Structure formats: structure tokens, C-alpha cells
Amino acid sequence: MNTVLPVYFQIKQTIKGWILNKEFSGGERIPSGNELAERFQVSRLTIRQATSQLVQEGFLVSRRGEGTFVTRDENLIDSFSLEFQGVMDDLFFRQISKVQIKSAQIQKVVPPKSIKEKLGLGPESGEVFQVRRVRYIKDRPFTYTVNYLPLEIGRKIREKDLYHNPLMNVLEEKAGVQFTEAVQTIEASFANAEVAKSLKIAAGSPILFVERIMYGPKHKPVEVFQCSYLGDLYKIIVRFKNIRRKNGRRWVHAGGDRPLGGENRRGR
């Protein structure tokens, strides 16, 4: 077991993986609590915590006196076949056979002032390259992305490159970009008309909005990435620790010494 993530969560993800990989078909009974406890060498309480969350999420159905069964909702299972394990995993997006980019374009635009600032461009600067893409799982769109690139980088990208590889790979291989760090902001938002049309949802629908500024050597901005996710297809789990300090206790992110609720303003 991973020593960082809670045991119940790791078991939950394992069972969820069984379902998504069709190791248990819709309507099939999963092993009992005792069997799972023996398999994972944990208490039944830990198993109950894991399976209860999967019941709440709709992947499992509990029937009193009969057991726990996999949902028959194939659409739910197919929709969640792409699992993001962490906040940054989609940064290094692995192409999966079920994921397709059906719409992609690159063009020169005059960006808003905020984008110029994030790319480190002066107010007198003109155009940048803008990349727009829609990613699908089967026939369902699940992300709408917009990337802004300085002219010297964007002119090395071809539209055909955008359909088969993550843009990060294209930038590294085609444009010779060396990424060194990134600053990411995640927030709940609402779909504007453009996002709604691309994701085939109603304008004003809830989405998860992610903005990422990518940096090269010497902390030079080389890309601004903005992505709108369908609100029901993305989950973020962050672990914090309660650390004792000379001036008292404080909560910090388990991945580093950052206070709960703190903000990293570097590069913003």
C-alpha cells in the first residue's frame, strides 16, 4: 500500500479500477466485506468506508441481505474510464484508446491583457498563437482547452500534430521547449457560450476551470493553458498534515510545506 494515501482510499480506487476495467460486469456481486478485508489485510470498517463511497458515487449498489453489486449504468462506467490520479497527471496526459481529439485549430490572435501579462509580454506586443481543442471519451466531449503560445514557439506547431499527441509532447519534440515548472490554478466556474457549445452543455452549467502557466529555463513563461472540464468527470484529492511548529500548529500540504489556504504567487 502507498504510505501517503489513506488505506481506504487506495482500496476504493482498486475496486473502482476493477469496475472500470470490466473485471466485474454490470449487476455482478463483488466479494463480501470479509473476503475483501482478508484480501487487503485490513479491517471490515476500512472496507465499509471504501465501498460506501463507491455506493455514493453510483459505482456500487448495496442490497440488504444480498451483498454489494456493480452498477448496471454502463454510461457511468464509460464516462469514468479515464481516471486522473492527481492534480498534475493530466499535465503529462497519457493517450488512451477511448480518448479522441475531434476538434483542433491553431491561429494567431491578439490576446487579452491578462494573457500578455502571464506570458511576460509587454502591453505593446501584438499577436500570439492560440490553440483550441475538444477532447472526447467515445462520443462525449469532456474537456475544452485553450493554449496561448508566444509567436516564436507557436509557429513551429502544425494543426495535424494536435490530434495525436499531448501538446506538451509536441512542444518538447517539435518546438524544442524545455519545461522546468508550472503554476496551476483550479476553480469552480460556469460554462460561457463558447465552452457550452464545445462541451454540448447548457450555458451556465457548472464546470471545473483549470489554468496553468508553464515555465522554461530562467522562469520564462512559455505557455498559458486553460481547460474547462465537465464538472462530473474530474475529482481532486489533496492531503494535508497538521505540523507542530515553534509558534503553534499549522496545516500544510502533504506534498510540501505550504499552509492550508495559502497561495503561491510566484510567476503570477
Domain segments of the chain as ranges: 7-79, 89-230, 239-268
Note whether 256 and 262 are within 8 A (CB).
Answer: no
pTM over 0.75: no
Ranges of H-type helices in 58-138: 74-79, 113-118
* pLDDT tens digits, 163-206: 877 788 889 888 899 988 888 888 889 999 999 999 999 999 98
Q: Which residues of the chain have pLDDT under 70?
A: 1-5, 78-99, 232-239, 245-246, 250-268
The residue assigned the cell 484508446 is 97
Neighbour-count burial for 47-58, b at 16+ CB within 10 Å, e otherwise:
bebbbebbeeee
3-state secondary structure of 126: coil
Q: Which candidate, 232, 216, 200, 225, places its Cα nearest to that of 78?
A: 232
Question: Given this chain, do its domains 7-79 and 89-230 carry the same CATH topology?
Answer: no
Note whether 149 and 111 are within 8 A (CB).
Answer: no
Which CATH class name applies to 89-230?
Answer: alpha beta
Give the phi and the psi of residue 169 in degrees, each rounded to 5.
-65, -40
Fold of the domain built from segment(s) 7-79:
Arc Repressor Mutant, subunit A (1.10.10)
